[in-house]
Amino acid sequence: MPPPIPLTSGQKAPAFSYTEDQATIHSSEITSPYLIYFYPKDDTPGCTKEACAIRDAWAEFGAAGLKVIGVSKDTERSHQKFQNKYSLPFPLIADTELQLANAFGVFGEKQFMGRTYDGIHRMSFLIAADGTILTSYPKVKPEAHAAQVLEDFSLLTS
């Protein structure tokens, strides 16, 4: 499989739905800006750093009016354990069939330690309330991503 070709600024985000507090939420119902971030696997070092950095900046995300949604191909059960273990205050989508990852263009060829395989790339998209992608993040640094998103959002909306 070739490397991914992610969506970019100005494009419309694909429609999706997820469960939050036992209710199904459709992306068309999201009326505020949001960050959708894709990550390879629950409870791995980089993914945990990224999720916890967002959790630690949760008050700032709330003050900015930014919703956050995480996505990986892990199961709902795995997501629940990950959320509980690290007290993550945002929903995680179980994209086990990779429909959302493919729609956003984040699934493709990866290399790690000389091995080539297909997987979800760590990428994020900052999306306006109308569903338009404000900016995409094709190269995410897990520890710094939350601060980068908040800074970019304040610049884009000021």
Helix/strand/coil for 25: strand
Q: Name the residue ranges covered by the structural domains of the chain.
A: 17-136
Q: Give me the percent of the chain exceeding a pLDDT of 70.
A: 99
Residue type, 39: Y
Catalytic center residues: 47
- The Cα 42–Cα 107 span in angstroms is 16
Return the DSSP state at 44. S
pLDDT tens figures, 94-151:
999 999 999 999 999 888 788 888 999 999 999 999 999 999 999 999 999 999 999 9
Q: List alpha helices for 8-144, DSSP H.
A: 45-56, 58-64, 76-86, 99-104
HSE-up of residue 120 (Cα within 13 Å, Cβ side): 26
Q: Give me the percent of the chain exceeding a pLDDT of 90.
A: 79
Mean pLDDT confidence for 68-90: 96
Burial class (CB in 10 A: 0-12, 13-18, 19+), 115: exposed
> What's the topology of domain 17-136?
Glutaredoxin (3.40.30)
Q: Residue 3's pLDDT band (boundaries 50, 70, 90)? A: confident
